[in-house]
């Protein structure tokens, strides 16, 4: 981070109760208007000191020795400044003073700590962290790096200089430069928050830069298919087998609540007899590594039976012939057009459909839905329940009928 102004000044400093004789020599280092003074542990007679050249007058041995010493200090400071510039380390008068006095400790840098954190995540990928988590933090690191370059024209940023303004400026950059929506912005800031918390707990930060910063997400309306749309898609006959196959797997997700990645990894070993002597899916969510136990509805069982002899299932040992996420979502858009569904169809809508149209709307308790979805907290499932006006209407109709019966 290049400083805006830099200056060096050697001068004599008059001690207290000074009458006559030599005075100690000081050097003043000024960076961006902020000065730091250092006693150079040499003295000079005021009558022999040249204020313009900041050196001793004369050619005798004492004058030459003193001037050479001051030249050496000057070179040391300029060399220290050059090295800081090469490593793109922020330059301050305090840092230059500490280098000169031998007390300098290289400041801990934000991106260095972030990279070390991500290395640990990568080492634990598939053990404690899902691949998606590693990708998210890699992206978050890239965003912070770009922001520091954009805002400070630097390769990194000292942890001790983190402030509330740094956080708010980063939020502004994500929204204005990266064009992130509010909730995506908050997610990236949450990733940064984890790194800052680590710095706080390690004692590298004395004050929390996030103090007073609100990290509230906006409520998002979650799309899902209605009963009529599910029926239309189920009954639609496609001229191309690949569309039928993708439609069937999408419907399987609608009746099981599984995300794309969780369906992709299903094998026949994930199907077992449950407590009710019916077939259940026993798996764990890739995203959160939480267990999911889902009783198989007849609609889902029929799809499994339909593809049990499919070549891809037989050779790969998979429960269903799932293609790549990119291809599946591309074909879903084609399916939506053919079925007259205007909603932006993706596999995640299937998960929302299971939570709303298939379960909650049909009276399945939210606790059971939360468990089948593999949510760690029922509060996450409540986001789905908030949009079920029909369920509220049906419940209130029952209450209305009960109250009318008492009249």
Cα torsion angle, 307, 312, 315, 319, sign: negative
- The pLDDT assigned to 376 comes to 78
Q: Hey, which CATH number is domain 110-201, 3.40.50, 1.10.150, 3.30.1330, 3.30.70?
A: 1.10.150
As a whole number, mean pLDDT of residues 224-238 equals: 92
For residue 1, is pLDDT > 70?
Answer: no
Highest mean pLDDT among 72-81, 324-333, 394-403: 72-81
Torsion of CA 142, 143, 145, 148, to 10 degrees: 170
More confident residue, 396 or 333: 333
Question: Distance between CA atoms of 163 and 153, rounded to whole angstroms?
Answer: 17
As a whole number, mean pLDDT of residues 50-62 equals: 93
As a whole number, mean pLDDT of residues 167-194 equals: 95
Percent of the chain with pLDDT over 70: 95
Q: Hey, which CATH number is domain 227-398, 1.10.443.10, 3.40.50.300, 3.30.420.140, 3.40.190.10?
A: 1.10.443.10
The residue count for the chain: 407
DSSP code per residue over 120-182: HHHHTBTTTB-HHHHHHHHHHHHHHHHHHHHHH--S--BGGG--HHHHHHHHHHHHHTS---H
Sheet with 291-295: list strands edge to edge: 271-273, 279-284, 291-295
Distance between start and end Cα atoms, the chain: 79
Question: Distance between CA atoms of 100 and 81, rounded to whole angstroms?
Answer: 11
For residue 361, is pLDDT > 70?
Answer: yes
Q: How confident is the model at residue 116 (pLDDT cuts 50, 70, 90)?
A: very high
As a whole number, mean pLDDT of residues 113-142 equals: 90
- Whether pTM > 0.85 for this model: the answer is no
- The pLDDT assigned to 2 comes to 58
**Where exactly are the structural domains of the chain?**
6-101, 110-201, 227-398
Instruction: Give Dmax (Cα) for the chain.
Output: 118
As a whole number, mean pLDDT of residues 60-89 equals: 90
Helix 93-101, helix 61-86: angle, nearest 10 = 120
Interior/surface letters 70-109, b for 16+ CB within 10 angstroms, e for the rest: beebeeebeebbeebeeebbbbbbebbbbbbeeeeeebeb
Q: How confident is the model at residue 285 (pLDDT cuts 50, 70, 90)?
A: confident
Place of tokens 């109760």: 17
What are the structure tokens assigned to 331, written together?
């074909």
């Amino acid at each position: 981070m290049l400083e805006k102004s830099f200056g060096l000044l050697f001068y004599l400093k008059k001690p207290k109760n000074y009458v006559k004789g030599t005075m100690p020599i000081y050097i003043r280092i000024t960076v961006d208007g902020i000065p730091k003074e250092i006693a150079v542990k040499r003295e000079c007679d005021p009558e022999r000191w040249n204020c313009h050249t900041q050196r001793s007058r004369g050619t005798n041995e004492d004058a030459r020795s003193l001037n050479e010493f001051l030249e050496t200090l000057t070179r040391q400071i300029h060399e220290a400044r050059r090295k800081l510039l090469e490593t793109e380390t922020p330059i301050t008068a305090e840092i230059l003073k500490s280098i000169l006095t031998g007390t300098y400790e290289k400041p801990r840098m934000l991106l260095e700590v972030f990279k070390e954190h991500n290395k640990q995540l990568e080492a634990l990928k598939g053990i404690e962290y899902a691949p998606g988590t590693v990708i998210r933090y890699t992206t978050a690191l890239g965003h912070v790096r770009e922001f520091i370059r954009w805002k400070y024209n630097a390769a990194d940023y000292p942890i001790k200089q983190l402030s509330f303004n740094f956080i708010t400026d980063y939020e502004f950059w994500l929204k204005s430069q990266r064009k992130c929506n509010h909730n995506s912005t908050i997610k990236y800031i949450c990733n940064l928050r984890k790194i800052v918390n680590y710095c706080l707990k390690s004692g590298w930060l004395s004050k929390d830069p996030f103090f007073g910063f609100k990290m509230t997400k906006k409520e998002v309306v979650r799309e899902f298919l209605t009963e009529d749309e599910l029926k239309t898609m189920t009954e639609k006959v496609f001229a191309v087998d690949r569309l039928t196959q993708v439609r069937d797997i999408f419907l399987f997700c609608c009746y099981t609540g599984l995300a794309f990645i969780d369906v992709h990894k299903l094998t026949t070993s994930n199907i077992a007899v449950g407590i009710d002597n019916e077939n259940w899916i026993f798996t764990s969510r890739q995203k959160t590594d939480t267990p999911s136990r889902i009783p198989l509805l007849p609609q889902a069982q029929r799809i499994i039976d339909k593809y049990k002899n499919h070549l891809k299932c037989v050779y790969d040992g998979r429960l269903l012939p799932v293609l790549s996420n990119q291809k599946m979502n591309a074909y879903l858009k084609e399916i939506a057009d053919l079925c007259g569904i205007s909603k932006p169809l993706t596999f995640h809508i299937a998960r929302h459909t299971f939570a709303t149209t298939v379960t909650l709307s049909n009276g399945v308790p939210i606790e059971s839905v939360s468990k089948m979805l593999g949510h760690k907290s029922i509060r996450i499932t409540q986001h789905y329940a908030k949009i079920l006006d029909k369920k509220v209407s049906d419940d209130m109709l029952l209450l209305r009928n009960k109250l009318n019966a008492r009249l």
